[in-house]
Structure 1
């Protein structure tokens, strides 16, 4: 699974980093994004909805949030 560290990056950088990485992946590939920007809670689901990707899970930790996504086809 691809992992993207966007901790410390502010909107819109986490989603831009995610979009760039996902563009290179085959349909069905899974990605984990780690981000601590509160706006990512809105931006990541919106990005998935607009781009046709599946948001598999959102897990909050003390320091950041982990988003698991599957690239749409």
Structure 2
């Protein structure tokens, strides 16, 4: 599946980036990709932990200045989230 969704969470503080990422993931079909952009430094810890808990896949993590970008692929079973 090649569905891709962008989620810009720049400016939001913990816990909002991880909560909104979790909600966005729940709405995606298996195999879809979610690209999340954040500025909250805690997202570097929180989003990878979320992905581990839900059974989804963290395909990439990038940092560009204050921005963190995560590319997440929804798990085949739709995750546990």
Fold match (TM-score > 0.5)? yes
Q: What is the distance in 1 between the residues matched to 2:28 and 2:56?
A: 12
Asked if 1:53 is matched to 2:56, the reply is: yes
Q: What is the distance in 2 between the residues matched to 1:44 and 1:24?
A: 17
* Counterpart for residue 30 of structure 2: 27
1:11-59 deviation line (CA, Å, top 9, x unaligned) = 1100111111111110110000000100000001000000001000001
Structure 1's unaligned 5+ residue stretches are none
Structure 2's unaligned 5+ residue stretches are none
Structure exhibiting the larger radius of gyration computed from Cα positions: 2
Alignment length (residue pairs): 73
Asked if 1:11 is matched to 2:44, the reply is: no
Deviation at 1:63, TM superposition (A): 3.1
What is the Cα-based RMSD across aligned positions, in Å? 0.7
Structure 1 runs of 4+ aligned residues shifted over 2 Å read none
